[in-house]
Structure 1
Amino acid sequence: MIRVLLVEDNHADARLLEEHLRDMRDAFSITRVETLQAGIAAVAEHDVVLLDLSLPDAHGLETLTRMLAAVRGVPIIVLTGMQDDKVATDAVAAGAQDYLLKGELTTQLVVKTLRYAIERKKLQGMEVERVKTTEALARARFVADVMAASTSSLDLGESMRAVARVMLPALGDFCVIDLPRSRGELQRVTIQAADPALHDAINEVATAHLLGPRHVQSPVQRALEERKTVVIPALNIEDLHPDARSRELVRRLQLRSLLVTPLVARDRVVAVISLVFGPSGRTYGNDEKLLAEEIAGHLALAIDNARLLADSQRALRGRDELLAIVSHDLRNPLSVIDLALGLMARDSSHLATALPRAQRAADRMNMLIADLLEVSRIDAGTLKVEPAPTDLLLLLTDVIEQHRVLCTSKSIKLVGELAPELGTVDVDNARLVQALGNLL
C-alpha cells in the first residue's frame, strides 16, 4: 500500500482529493495535515507527498524548499491553482517530481501522477547510486594508481616523482613534494606541472620558496607544525609576498587555489605534498581535501615501511660485516694456536716459547667471543672503551710475536722496528691489539 501525505489547509480541496482516492483504498492510504511544520514532522513515514504551496506557515516555493530540505528521499507533488501554472513548473525545476492543477483533477490523473512520481524518484535514486558507485570506482582506481607509482622504484625520490606525475591533473595543475630533514628544513624532491611548458616557471616560483618553508606565512610550514591539511580555496597573490619577477610568474601561472597536506606516520611527518590549481580554473573544496588526505595516509604508510625496510637491510649488512670481521679475527689466533701445537708436537724443545704464544692466542679468542656478545651494545651505542696506561713497546712486541709464527708458515718475514723510547700511552689494550692484528 502506498502511504500518501496530504499537506493541505483548504478543507474543500482536501475532501476532493480524498474522494478521488476513496475507490483505491486497497492501494493508497492518505494522511492529511494542515501546516508545513506538521507535514515535515510526518513526511518520513510516507511514500509520497501532495503539497499545497499556500499554507498558514509557508507560501510559494519556500514551502517546497523547506520540505525538500527536511526529507530528500520522498517524492513531492505540488498542488496549485490554475492561476499558479508558472509557479508549479518552477517548483518542478526546483525539485518537485510533478504538479497537479486543482481545477483539473481526475481520479485517473491523481493515481497516475502518484505512481509515476514514486517510480521516477526510485529511478533517480538508482541513478544517483550508479553515479556514486562510478565515482567511487574511479576514486579507488586513482588511489591505486598513486600507490602503484609510490612503489615503482626502490629510490624514494624517483617514486615520489612518479606519484606527482600521476596526481596531475586530477588533483592539481602543479605538484611539489618535500621531505623533512633535521632542524625543520625541507628537501625538495620534485616539482611537476600538468603542462610541461609551465614547468620552468613553477620551478622558479617554488625554488624561491613562495610555497616553501622559509616564508613566515608559508602554508607548508603551517602543515608541518599543525600536522593537518591546509587549504586556501582562493589564493591571493599578495599573500605570497613575491618580488617583481615572482609576481610576474605567479600571474603567468594563474595560481588560484592551494592545498598542502602532510604525510604523517607514527606521529612523524615523513613528507609534505603541495598541490596548486592554476590554468584549469578549478579550486580546492572538501572533496579534493578528503581525497588528498586519503592518498596522504596511504603514502605515509608506504614511505614509512620503505624506510623501515631500508633500516633493516642496513642492519643486516652491518651484521654480516661484523660477522666477517669477527670470523677473520678468530681465524688469526686459531692459526697461531694450531701452529704452536704443531711445533710442540714436532719438537718439545719449543715448548717454552710456543706454549705462551698459544695461551695468548686463546686469551685473544676469549676476548673476541666476548666482543661478539657485545653486538647488541654496539647497536645501542653503549660499547665501552676502557683506556689504561700501557707500555707501547711491550704491546707491539707481543703483537709481533703472536703473528710471527703465522707469517713464517706462509713464507712471510715479519720484522718489527720499534724505538725503545715509545713509552707509556693511555689506550684500551685489548682493542688496540685487535686492531693491529686486523692490520697484520
Structure 2
Amino acid sequence: MILKNCRFILTQDPKRRVLENCDIRIEDDKIAEIAPNIKERDDKVDFSKKVVMPGMINTHVHLPMTLFRGYSDNLGLHDWLKKMMAEEAKLTAEQVYWGTMLGCLESLQFGTTTAADFYYYPYERAKAVEKMGLNAFLDSTVLDKPFFFKDAQEAINHSEKFIKDMQEYKKITPVATCHSIYLCGTDTLEKIRDISNKYNVIRRIHVSETERELKASLKNNKATPIEYLNKLDWLDDKTMLVHCNWATNMELRMIRDKGCKINHNPVSNMKLAYGKAMPLKKMLEMGITVSLATDGPTSNNNLDLFDDMKVSALMHKFELNDPMGIPDQDIFDMGNIQGAKALKITDKTGSIEPGKWADLIAMDVNKPHFTPLNKNNSILSHIIYCSSGQDVSETMVRGKFLVREGKFTNCNPEEIMSKVQELMGD
C-alpha cells in the first residue's frame, strides 16, 4: 500500500522531521519507505489533504470503565473510588468484555493505536482487544481486599497465570500491576515485584496521587509513597508510576536515578481535584520519561488523548505562571514517542520510520479550524490547540486500516454500543 502525497508527515523521528508532500509505502505490517514520488501501484491511497502522524499511545487507561461513564462525577478521588469499587464488584465477565469493546472502539476512533489497560477480568479484555485490533498492554490488577478473588494471594496467582498465558496473543503484552500502596500491603507489593522481575515485564501502580495519600504514607510507612516503594526495591527501569502529582524533589531524584517512567493524566487529575498539578517541567528537565494518558472514561470522561494534550499544555502554563509552559514538541512527544519509550517499544512504534510497525493516524486538515496551516510555525500548534480526536479520519494498526474515512472497517459500532446500552442502560 502507498499513502500518496501526504500533505504533512510528522515523523517523530530523532530529528523530529516534518515532511511535506511525501509518500509512505507500507509492506505487510511495517513502514517500508518514506519519500516523494514513490512509484505508483494499484493500492495507492490519496492523502493529499491529510496530516499523518504516529498513532497515539495511551499509557494508562481503564477501558471497561466506559460502562460507568458519567456515573460518579463531582467527587474527589477517595470518595470516587469508594463509590466506583462498590459498583465494580458487581461486574460480570460479559459486561467487562463489552465495556472493553466499547473502550477500544472509542480509542480507535480518536487515533489511539496502543493502549496500556489497567483492570480486572483480563481474559475477557484480551479477547476484546484482539478482536478490535488494538496493540495493548494488559494486566490482572491486584489489591488486598477480596475483589473478584477470595484473597490477595489468589489475585496474585491469577496475575502470574495471565502473564504466562499471554504468549498466544499477537498484539498483547502482559504486565504486572498493584492498584496502589493504600490498597496493597507490603507482602502483595513484594510478590508483584518478584513476578515482574521473574518474567521481565513492566510493573505499574497508582502512586502519589493526593495529599491525603502522602500524609497517610508518612504516618503508616514512615516514608513518602515513592520512598516507601524504593525501600521495597520496587523502583527500576521496568516501573511505571501513575500520576505522581504530589511527588517530592527527593522522590523525583529516585525516579530519575532508577529509570522509572511516569504517566501524566491531566484531565482526570483536574476532574478528581487532585489539588496539585504534577511537576512536569521539573520532571522533563531531569530527563524523566513522562507519557500522556487519559485515565479511565469514568474520570475523564472520554478517551481522547488530543484533549489531554491541550489540557496538559494549558495546565502547566497556568500552574507555572509562564506562557512558555511546556514546549509544544514536548507535549506532542508525550502522546506518541515518549509513550513508546515508557512501554519499551520504541524499536517497534511511536514514530514514522522504515522498519517500524505501520501504526499511523491521519487527520483531514481541509477544515476551517486548521486554516491557515503551514509547516514551520503552525502545524504543532494546530494539533495541540485546535484539533480533537474527532478530526481523525484514519487509524491504521500494523498496516491495516481499522478506521478509514471515519468509518470502522473491522466491526459494527452500532452492535457494540447497543450491547453496552442493553447491559448498563438501567
After TM superposition, the score normalised by the length of structure 1 is 0.22
Decide which structure has greater strand share: 2
After TM superposition, the score normalised by the length of structure 2 is 0.23
Decide which structure has greater helix share: 1
